[in-house]
Amino acid sequence: MKRLFVAIKIHPSPELLQVYYGLKKDLALEKIKWVEENNFHLTLKFLGSTYTSLMDGIDTALKNVSLHTRSFEIRMQDPGIFGSRYDPRVIWLGIENNTQLAEFANNVLIELDQVGFPRDRQNFVPHLTIGRMKHIHNKKHLKNVIDKHKGNLIHQEPVNEFYLYESILTRKGPVYKVLKEYSLT
């Protein structure tokens, strides 16, 4: 079994790194597990522990999506949090509303559903996870730091491909290994 997910790789721009390191600096006293910049990605579907016998079906489904999807661009802006303001869990950067991304993600979900990976109950909310909060001592400070970075375009990136990744959990954090690359038309 392999722990798999489908994602778009994010290649951080200087502006994105400036926001990322600014957030890390401003929140240095909080207990946050920051995502390493070389692991930045936009998850389209987490497949979880998957039998290797299902790999051919996954590959066929993702190839089908790639053949029917044109390249597009994503734009990131505004950090935010998942969880409540009383119990924040994740710091993320939002992706601007984008019909091409929404259609692409929906097609990935449809194709994978047909090979045995049902859709999640939640709607697809495109975002880049940059930190997972373990414990926040000063929630008001967290809100002020997040608000300080709102209102500006943080990053834009062309999407010409997407990937099937294996996530290997280690003591130092996850290692993401590309298993397959799928080019968009």
**Catalytic-labelled residue, pool 11, 41, 68, 155:** 41
Whether 161 contacts 44, CB under 8 Å? no
Residue with structure tokens 């590309």? 178
In the DSSP assignment, the letter for residue 72 is E
Q: List the strands of the sheet with 2-9, edge to edge.
A: 41-50, 2-9, 161-170, 173-183
**Catalytic-labelled residue, pool 11, 127, 137, 149:** 127
Residue 107 tokens read as 């097609």
Residue with structure tokens 């299902």? 54
127 catalytic? Reply is: yes
Element (H, E) at 83: strand 72-83
Q: 3-state DSSP call for residue 161? A: strand
Q: How far apart are CA 109 and CA 119, in angstroms?
A: 6
Active site residues: 41, 127
